[in-house]
Amino acid sequence: MKITIEITPDEAAALIAMQAEFESNRLEVGLAPPRRPMNLGGMIRVPISRNAKWYREFCDRYASSRRRNHRKFDTRIKRANTSRVLSALCDGRQTASKYAEDFLREARARVRTNPDEYRRATETEILYEAEICDEEPF
């Protein structure tokens, strides 16, 4: 089943901004000495940079059902798939991902909260179409 969703120029600009934010922010961790040394030469992991806030919240919504003893966060979301779906939406291509609606919801929320940031120079309302279908979900 194909679903056609109309995307305004402002929403397309918000999606492009989300894609740029996603590609420029990535979780990176480094090693640092602990505040209270316990082992000789022992190090702890500390974050150097973080994922974009909207991406962290997106991953929270789709937590993995896998349970482990330690506190590491597990998610079903993969960066490569997220990048592919965002690219498809930005280009107006067809996507079968069920997560595309989440990205469009975030883009629409951004346009509502900061309309001037995503306003296009032209006042004509050209609608871009992105098709979402159920054929190949990731």
The 10s digit of each residue's pLDDT in 57-106 is 998 888 777 666 655 567 788 899 999 999 999 888 878 888 899 999 99
Tokens at residue 126, please? 């050209």
Domain check: are 91 and 134 in the same one? yes
DSSP string, 89-128: HHHT--B--TTHHHHHHHHHHHHHH-HHHH--SS---PPE
Domain check: are 107 and 89 in the same one? yes
CB 49 within 8 A of CB 64: no
Domain check: are 92 and 54 in the same one? no
CB 138 within 8 A of CB 15: no
Domain that holds residue 133: 78-138
> Average pLDDT in the 17-41 region?
88
Domain count, the chain: 2
Domain check: are 100 and 85 in the same one? yes
The structure's pTM equals 0.73
Domain check: are 104 and 134 in the same one? yes
Domain check: are 56 and 97 in the same one? no
Domain check: are 118 and 95 in the same one? yes
